[in-house]
Structure 1
Amino acid sequence: MNRQFFCFVALLLCTTLSGCKKFLNIKPLDRLAGNAFWQSRGDVESYVSNIYGQFRDKIQSTSFIPGAGELRSGMLKMSENTNTSARRYIDLLGQNLVKEVMPEGEVWNQWGFNFPSMTQWKEFYRVIQSANVCVFELGKRTIPGLSSSDVKRYQAEAVFMRCLTYLFMVRVWGDVPYYTDAYENQALGREDMKKVISNCIADLAAVKDDLPWTYGDPAFRAVRASRGSAIALLMYMNLWNAGFDKANKEAYYTHAATLGKELVESGVHHLLPLKDFNILFKGRSPEGLLEVAQSSNYGETLSAVSPFSDLVLRYPNKRPLAGHEVSYGYFRAEFLRVLYPDGQSDLRKDYWFDQYMYSNSGMFQFLKFTNIYAIGEQDVNPDDNVIIFRYAGAILWMAEALAELGKDGEAKTALNMVRERAGVQPYSGVGGPALKEAIFIEEAKELMGEGLYYYDLLRTGRVLDSKWCNKPLTPDQFNRGGWTWPLSPSVQNNNAKIKLNEYWIQ
């Protein structure tokens, strides 16, 4: 079955619900998915593949990962010598003026940035509904050619994608409706995000061992859920909840640390030499845990507005020369000097930046994502996979959890695994707050541009600190949800239980 069929199924799932406005009032599944469909391995494989495709479609529908995960920290500044009318959203988001990037008449939205999409969750609920259908249908059938372990693996992939989708929604909107029943027909209100993530932790932990560590088909590496992917997602969800559920933080940190040790001791993944960073970010490397694939050879490239690289490259890494004389944005030099102190060697500084690193101008470039496939003067972005999780990040999350548990020696060992790969002198300082800050700095350096920094500010409370956030939130703004995105009033259609994010109702 081709992807168009599944897009039709997904559309049917939502149009039956008034464009997903009634996304919790669900018709019987045999009328939606079709009893005649679930007949072969090919049917199941196509359906599960399309769940990933639906997720991909949402995150490329706008500048989702850079807009939500990087720009709101304000540490990326719009270049003054670029087209200010087209890229002013960089500074607006950096000042938490989120509503000002939304009008459809703004030039960036006319050019396809589609920031109003950030107020809509219906596409994410299509992923969740598809995952629920998959788990249900595979649980009630015997399908020729599928062993019991095959069935469990496909169901675990669906659960994984459901949990990943809930995480993405929680990080953007906070509380969200939560359901896993494919037959759910009750109008549900928004559930406390900590409870949503706790449910996801329990759901995924129950099936993670049904996922393989590796796939026989190398094309599946890092772009389909594996046990390493599940461990990374579980680690991150535990760290997220630890930041917001202080009463239970020790249990979350303990779970994250235990998972990190399991991942390291598996020996399945390893850190690539930093000189091979192009191999890493091209994708499907032994360091990759979860990625959204791109392939120019197969026409599977993300929209021009979705990658972070679009913001921080210029000619000759962006072509043609006309229009790309400068980068649209640059990391503030004062921020980079905190991360990269004078006199400290670091291969990331050598490989990912050039002589204009501290220029505070459009001459700046961030060279981390530079697998260029452009032909001649073709105006395209680098052909890199979008990294969701990778091994280096999981090691640092393990270090963070261990430090929070007071296990400073083990935390330093984990931290130094990543520092050693980067050619940085091993950390030998004191434990406690100094060690925790060293780990945070390492996360900021290692994962820069991968759509995690702003979320790390949120879960660690550093979004209140001007050292780490250019326009920090006040405690009152934070508590009232100033870190979220607005929700479109359309999410309330046919469901009076849905309440909007009050901070943005002004």
Structure 2
Amino acid sequence: MIMRPYSFLIAFVLILSVSACTEIINQVPPSALTETTFFKTANDAEAAVTASYDAIQGDDPRWIVWGDARCDNLEVPVDIIGITDPTVLEFTQDNISTSSTYATWNKFFVSINRVNNILAKVPAIQDPSINAVRDRILGEAYFLRAFNYFFLTRLWGAVPLVLEPTISLNVDLKVSRVPAEVVLDQIVADLKEAESKLPVSYSANLDTRGRATKGAAQALLARVYLWKSSYNKTNEWQSVVDYTTKVIASPVYSLAPGASYASIFTAKNTAESIWELQYNYNNQELNTLVRLFIPRSTKVQTGGEQILIPSKKIENAFVNGDLRKAGAIFYSDSLSTYKNVRSVAKYQGTIVGASRFSDSNFIILRLADVILMKAEAQAQLGKVTEAIDLLNTIRKRAGLPNTTATTKEAVLIAIEEERFIELCFEGHRWYDLLRTGRVKAVLNTDKKALLPVHINDILINPNLLPQNPGY
């Protein structure tokens, strides 16, 4: 089913004996566990959900390669630097190999199997201390399963849908793929369960940062309905409005001031952020996405590789006076090997003295995105005035005048352009163009909609055939 047969196995020693992400929960899973001794206490359940987050953190730039490298806000600086990553180049040129290291789905399925075990085992835990946290842990598990499957179906379309834990190799793991529509229905069901069980917020303690909340479930539900409405043509725009309204009305979230736009990406877990993947150099939790963008040999020790740079198109899209530009793009300094090169500013890592650490968080959900989702849904419902007001909220924060768009069609294009600028380098652009059917119109070329199923997966499980179109 997946790249390696043991990836889908809950071999407890392999899956739950990982180092916990203390930014998510201040707990280290036990190092030697068995099926008969685990899932007995509330601490076991906490350790299991920690391991489920850990599986999706990863340490590679796949989020940006998938969501932005195929689009028009990033480019490979071959003419400037002359060095690039051939795997990234495959994506920018739409020449993705069936053996590409970025065309693998095993990390998602590892996380899915971990949460499936939580959902199967935690309800039966008898430890009295579980009563205070059981619903929350189950809510996190439902949220994470939905999150994993949403990425899977947007990237690969039809995928294996497994809702029970795999605890033994003595079972048939050669599961077939099911239609994306079926997977999306399960995602919605899981997120509604998550919404009902998750807390509105947590304490300010470090060990709760990065946990899913009720707002995260609502925001992800809005994004799923947005995808279904535009890509699958299911016309569920009102559901987008309903769930975005819940998030916007929450006192937990607020837009950062325009002058503090950069702080969204440097301060970590700001009031604008709804859910972000956590990294902390003190705990050796590093995000190599940082090195993907940092210039080579800067005055700050430990430079980067600068595999991708902002495109001229996105640079020019920031008009004079846009307060967001400095928080999105900077230019390499005079001490860099390659001077005055456009660079992504959203992932700078932590700078301590003369050292830079690759530990920027990766934001999955934030309030500005939710506001623009609601604007798009309102426009699609014919409520153009409401859509314009929401769009202008984002423009006002950026220090810009109100939009000049007035018709439904013009407002939708204006929202698309605002998402291009507001959310650049955050992994949204490809999915936005794909779901609205505007890939060719915007990029001036056809591109394959889906990633290939990795050749190793097919060799292990021929039931994954047929291969996705174009490979």
TM-score in same-fold range (> 0.5)? yes
Checking the alignment, whether the CA contact within 8 Å between 1:254 and 1:401 is kept in structure 2 is: yes
SS of residue paired to 2:116: helix
Deviations 1:365-406 (A, max 9, x none): 232333442553x5654x321111111111111111111111
**Matched residue type, 1:284:** N
> Hey, what's the Cα distance between the residues in 2 that align with 1:191 and 1:455?
21
> Hey, what's the Cα distance between the residues in 1 that align with 2:51 and 2:191?
20
> Hey, what's the Cα distance between the residues in 2 that align with 1:223 and 1:210?
17
Checking the alignment, whether the CA contact within 8 Å between 1:312 and 1:330 is kept in structure 2 is: no
> Hey, what's the Cα distance between the residues in 2 that align with 1:69 and 1:272?
24
SS of residue paired to 1:442: helix
1:286 equivalent in alignment to 2:274: no
> Hey, what's the Cα distance between the residues in 2 that align with 1:418 and 1:47?
39
Checking the alignment, whether the CA contact within 8 Å between 1:257 and 1:398 is kept in structure 2 is: yes
Checking the alignment, whether the CA contact within 8 Å between 1:221 and 1:285 is kept in structure 2 is: no
The alpha-carbon deviation at position 8 of structure 1 amounts to: 12
Q: TM-score, normalised by structure 1?
A: 0.79
Structure 2 unaligned blocks of 5 or more: 1-6, 16-32, 333-337
1:165 equivalent in alignment to 2:142: no
Given candidates 90, 95, 100, the residue that maps to 2:93 is 95
Deviations 1:34-93 (A, max 9, x none): 232223222111111110001113xx2x43012111111154222245553443555442
CA pair 497-291 structure 1, distance change in 2 beyond 3 A: same
Q: Number of aligned pairs?
A: 439
CA pair 439-313 structure 1, distance change in 2 beyond 3 A: farther
Q: How does 1:223-234 map to 2 (within 5 A)?
A: 223-234=210-221
CA pair 313-229 structure 1, distance change in 2 beyond 3 A: farther
1:118 equivalent in alignment to 2:102: yes
Q: How does 1:39-50 map to 2 (within 5 A)?
A: 39-50=40-51
Checking the alignment, whether the CA contact within 8 Å between 1:175 and 1:192 is kept in structure 2 is: yes
Checking the alignment, whether the CA contact within 8 Å between 1:243 and 1:459 is kept in structure 2 is: yes
CA pair 370-458 structure 1, distance change in 2 beyond 3 A: same
> Hey, what's the Cα distance between the residues in 1 that align with 2:34 and 2:418?
46
Given candidates 238, 242, 249, the residue that maps to 1:258 is 242
- Give the structure with the larger helix fraction: 1
The alpha-carbon deviation at position 220 of structure 1 amounts to: 5.0
Checking the alignment, whether the CA contact within 8 Å between 1:41 and 1:145 is kept in structure 2 is: yes
Identity over aligned residues, as a percent? Answer: 24
CA RMSD of aligned residues (A): 3.0
Checking the alignment, whether the CA contact within 8 Å between 2:309 and 2:342 is kept in structure 1 is: yes
CA pair 12-293 structure 1, distance change in 2 beyond 3 A: same
The alpha-carbon deviation at position 208 of structure 1 amounts to: 0.6
CA pair 238-13 structure 1, distance change in 2 beyond 3 A: farther
Aligned position for 1:197: 184
> Hey, what's the Cα distance between the residues in 2 that align with 1:35 and 1:84?
55
Deviations 1:318-376 (A, max 9, x none): 6457x87xx44333324443x334xx5311124433479xxx99611232333442553
Q: How does 1:33-72 map to 2 (within 5 A)?
A: 34-57=35-58, 60=59, 62-72=60-70
Given candidates 399, 404, 416, the residue that maps to 1:423 is 399
CA pair 11-317 structure 1, distance change in 2 beyond 3 A: farther
Given candidates 195, 203, 224, the residue that maps to 1:208 is 195
CA pair 38-433 structure 1, distance change in 2 beyond 3 A: same
> Hey, what's the Cα distance between the residues in 2 that align with 1:49 and 1:12?
14
Aligned position for 1:399: 375
Q: How does 1:455-470 map to 2 (within 5 A)?
A: 455-465=431-441, 468-469=442-443
CA pair 279-354 structure 1, distance change in 2 beyond 3 A: closer
- Bigger shift: residues 291-300 or 367-376: 367-376
SS of residue paired to 2:276: strand
CA pair 157-77 structure 1, distance change in 2 beyond 3 A: same
The alpha-carbon deviation at position 140 of structure 1 amounts to: 2.3
The alpha-carbon deviation at position 500 of structure 1 amounts to: 4.5
1:490 equivalent in alignment to 2:466: no
Given candidates 70, 73, 76, the residue that maps to 2:74 is 76
The alpha-carbon deviation at position 157 of structure 1 amounts to: 0.3
Checking the alignment, whether the CA contact within 8 Å between 2:142 and 2:193 is kept in structure 1 is: no
The alpha-carbon deviation at position 294 of structure 1 amounts to: 1.2
Checking the alignment, whether the CA contact within 8 Å between 1:319 and 1:379 is kept in structure 2 is: yes
